[in-house]
Amino acid sequence: MLQTAHIVPGRPAVFAAALLEQTHTLQKARYLRRWARRLRAFVFAPEDAIVLAYGSCGIDMQTQQVGVEAVITNDRKLAAHFGARYEEIQRRFAQMVRNLPEPYRILLLPKVLTTTEVLIHF
């Protein structure tokens, strides 16, 4: 996300270089703010809602891909809340994209994983 893209380059090169090689900054796509507003109805903080919305509706300008497979976070509370409400969130997201014009109808909801889950399972 553009809002946080400036954070990694400020870190020591030994840590940032490997991450930056494999990282693309997501830009706002057309329905990102709409989805973030709807996520707020599931009692996500504004910052969490926008991060989740980028996962579904952010666009990688280099690859022209919209959305990501997974949002990786250190925020266990965010991941747990998303997991607990996943079915409701999935239903609401499917309802929203069903009414969008092409190519937005193919948007998908990402997984939300903690860094611990990623390290253990992947």
| Angle, alpha carbons 33-110-31 (nearest 5°) | 20
Amino acid identity, position 1:
M
Residue 115 host element (H or E): helix 115-121
pLDDT of 92: 97
Give the predicted TM-score (pTM) of the model.
Answer: 0.82
Domain-wise residue ranges, the chain: 28-121
**pLDDT (tens digit, 9 = 90+) per residue, 9-46?**
565 666 566 656 767 788 898 999 999 999 999 999 99
**pLDDT (tens digit, 9 = 90+) per residue, 62-109?**
888 889 999 999 999 999 999 999 999 999 999 999 999 988 889 999
- Helix pair 32-40, 86-98: axis angle to 10 deg: 140
pLDDT of residue 1 exceeding 60, the answer is: no
Using the 8-state DSSP alphabet, how is residue 74 labeled? S
